[in-house]
Chain A
Amino acid sequence: MRQIMYLQAINEALNEEMKRDDKVFIIGESVQGSAFNTTAGLVQKYGVDRVMDTPIAESGIAGAAVGAAMAGYRPVADLMFADFMYCCADEVFLKAAMWHFMHAKKVNVPLVFKACIGGYARLSNEHSRCPSAMVMHHPGLKLVQPSTPYDAKGLMKTAIRDDNPVCFFYHKMLLPLTGDVPEEEYTIPFGVAEVKKEGTDVTVVATSFQVHQVLAVAAELEGRISVEVIDPRTLEPLDMETILKSVEKTGRVVIVDEDTERCGVGAEIGMQIVEKAFDLLDAPPKRVCSGNMPIPGASLEQYCLPSAQKIKAAIESLMD
């Protein structure tokens, strides 16, 4: 099977969906040239009316996407860095997420908010955040966090076809990652987690870039501790069934997510496991997340974000 990069997989998904449905258009800052090359080459194919470069105006971009979506279009609003979503919080969280409910299902908001997340590039607090928990927290927003090129392409296609607003968060460290991606068209449904590695001793639920950190640790522990790695792929809708099935097998679970620990993704998944599978647990759930602080840059970043060391320690601590 051919191997392509994660960023290329996203590009292919956008291209295919724009070709398939002329209601799809991209709007955002520097999307024609493409800040991360995920939208490169598209303006040449589809023109400036479907790949729209805007001024720096997140509220304008996000709000225009919401309006156009309500009026029957399917915009992909490219916010570049997920950190910039704070600039358009009203448009994302109150309007896009909630107007369908508020207006008794009389309006739909079929759009995608596309943005890169995550650290390890040492870009400091306002270019490194993963606002995953905040998105999960607001009812009405779907949340996609692919960890592989295959997942990225299939999930982006589904995101564009969904009649609801979807946050598509792709990790900046995964952009050059290559992986198997079929030539033939395919989509991946939301709410279906993938067991990225089977195991019997400990369940590790990992998101986005953390999937790869966890797989590396699992390989190191092979022979001593058998780790099962689950990638939810979408945090909303969240496939708890697959997670609980694994917990039933192992009785031990660690959640590894890069968003801030307090009230984070680990808090939500961990609590759901306790609520639904208390009797299946041999130990309390653990979480490895970013520290409860803004994300430092440069050489200090590594002490805040999840590390292989912290992941390994958490898994080992469950085996005592």
Chain B
Amino acid sequence: MKLEKEDLLKLYRNLARARVLDQLAIKMLSEGKFMGFYHSAFGGEAPGVGGTTFLRQDDYIYPHHRGHGIPHACGKGGDLQPFFAEHCGKATGTTKGMTGFHGCDPEHGMYGGGGTIGSAFPLSVGWALAAKKNGRGQVSVCFFGDGSMGRGTFHEAMNMAANWKLPVVWVCENNGMGQYVPIKDAYPLDDIANMASAYGIPGVVVDGQDVVAVAEAVVAAVERAREGKGPSLIECKCLRFRSHAEGIPDWYHAEKRSEEEVKELMKRCPVALYRNRLLEQGLLTQEDAERIDRELAEEAAEIERQCDEAPFPDPSVLENAVYA
């Protein structure tokens, strides 16, 4: 698939939207509207957006916790308002207030979220199994952070999927930090993509701050998977501009990441980089960019307003909720 102008602009809009909505989440949490926690994707929106924008509606994805699925849903499709309503604990949320933060949109291939890092790996194998059995060419794309590659589930799933040539694409969003533990102190090699060769599957490293580079790599891997050629591993080297979770200091082991260091990282803001590139290439005008900013700001305001107005769930929803 070659990316045409409308594809490139779609990527931009999804990316800009992911940024605006991530910022909205930070704001709503700080104002006490969100009931739980939030792990911002600020600076790291490109892998989620690039990895989902060109998927089919019936492809399965697992969006991991950084951004709570916002960048991934921006690319995959579906209404983002319920994601915010869920964080506010409202009955109109993705899980009707039952979890307070997990996304769930089966119509767009997002079956849910869990709280144990690395639990998605075997689930993604299961979705890939279903995809293979369905015979419609669906794929299962599993997004994960560098922090999760240490789990045993990673090995089991990589092995099973490679062995059975399942249609799964493993997309690692390596921002260098697993909570407070840098990946360089959690894995002996520089590239997580090295894990691929152990299973005989392709492993590539891409610039995770470049949404087009991510998109192209994922599209190629997805096509491979759809053709029955099995899984691939794509490692996106990306960045995390904020701390692991909102309200917590930006720990790096027992020290704080320095503000100077973070400022330096922010020079590679994926949204600014892409916008400037599109402006330079004449694919986007300044007016377009500003119009998009205005529309996104309006959407954000509307999302927040609907959150404020929605009701909390009645406790009676807890009855008969355990079993189908």
Residues of A whose CB lies within 8 Å of any CB of B are: 25, 49, 54-55, 57, 59-73, 90-91, 94-95, 99-108, 110, 139-140, 142, 163-164
Contact = CB atoms under 8 A, between A and B. Distances in A.
A140 B323 contact: yes
B159 A66 contact: no
Contacts of B121: 60, 63
Interface residues on B, range: 35 or more
Contact of B157 (A63, A65, A71, A100): A63
Contacts of B156: 55, 57, 59-60, 63
Interface string B31-61: 0000000000000000000000000000010
A107 B324 CA distance: 9
Contact of A55 (B106, B152, B163, B323): B163
B152 to A, nearest CB: 7
Given A95-B114, A104-B95, A104-B104, A49 B133 contact: yes
Nearest to B115: A94
B293 to A, nearest CB: 34
A102 B133 contact: no
B159 A71 contact: no
Contact of B104 (A65, A72, A106, A163): A106
Given A60-B159, A63-B121, A101-B321, 18 more contacts: A25-B133, A59-B153, A60-B153, A63-B123, A67-B123, A67-B140, A68-B127, A70-B106, A70-B123, A71-B60, A71-B134, A73-B130, A90-B153, A100-B324, A102-B102, A102-B112, A106-B112, A164-B323
Interface of B: 60, 95-99, 102, 104, 106, 111-112, 114-116, 119, 121-131, 133-134, 140, 152-153, 156-157, 159-160, 163, 317, 321-324
A32 B324 CA distance: 31
Contacts of B124: 67
B219 to A, nearest CB: 23
B99 A108 contact: no
A55 B160 contact: yes
B122 A59 contact: yes
Contacts of A102: 95, 98-99, 102, 112
A10 to B, nearest CB: 23
